[in-house]
Amino acid sequence: MNHPIIVGITGASGAIYAVRLLETLLAAGRDVHLSISPSGRDVIRHELNLDIDLDNFNASCLRLRDDPINGALHFYHHQDFMAPMASGSFLSDGMTICPCSGSTLSSVAAGSATNLIQRAAEVQLKERRKLVLVPREAPLSLAHIDNMRHVTEAGGVILPASPGFYHGEQSVDELVNFVVARICDQLGVEHTLTKRWGSG
């Protein structure tokens, strides 16, 4: 039996990765529990021209592609600490914060949650469940590197939004799919976003 996947979207550049990830998870039949920070909303608005109301969320505002949607999307306000994902008794198959801002990375590394996304990440680590953080910041400061080390030592996975080019990617969509495919691999979600090396 599959449990839900938790997705947090925070205020780093790379909103396009988050939307494609949601499309892929839902098309794969996975239920998704989603929370978006105010800064994440602002980046989505700036980069994708999508207007999201965090107080009255409607999934249609994300304009997800018409891939078969076999999973269900559940949205939780970033200050709703009564949401299922805030408790270790709620079972999930993993969580990703995509994209992950530097301030969110810092809060997760320090175990200092001020919103639902950070609290859910803390829960994943304490319950020894999969947590995948997708930073895009460049260059990295020493604080960023130290925080990534702390999260890794606690059991999390740092997966930078760094697409590869060895499959001959030709478009932005293909580069986005490369990163989203790596996230799905970490979460154990099947996909056909990219070819696998050696698969012919």
Could you tell me what percent of the chain has a pLDDT over 70?
99
Tens of pLDDT along 2-29? 999 999 999 999 999 999 999 999 999 9
User: What does the pLDDT average to over 96-100?
Assistant: 98
Question: Among 80, 9, 100, which Cα is nearest to 48's?
Answer: 9
List the domain boundaries for the chain.
5-187
Quote the tokens at residue 22.
């949601």
> For all residues of the chain together, what is the average pLDDT?
95
Tens of pLDDT along 119-144? 999 999 999 999 999 999 999 999 99
pLDDT of residue 196: 85
Q: Is the pLDDT of residue 199 over 80?
A: no
Please give the radius of gyration of the chain, using alpha carbons only, rounded to the nearest integer: 16
Superfamily for the 5-187 domain: Flavin prenyltransferase-like (3.40.50.1950)
User: What does the pLDDT average to over 154-179?
Assistant: 92
pLDDT band at 65 (very low <50, low <70, confident <90, very high): confident
Sign, CA dihedral 102-157-59-16, equals positive
pLDDT of residue 69: 74
Tell me how many degrees the CA angle 151-96-124 measures, rounded to the nearest 5.
Answer: 55
pLDDT of residue 200: 61
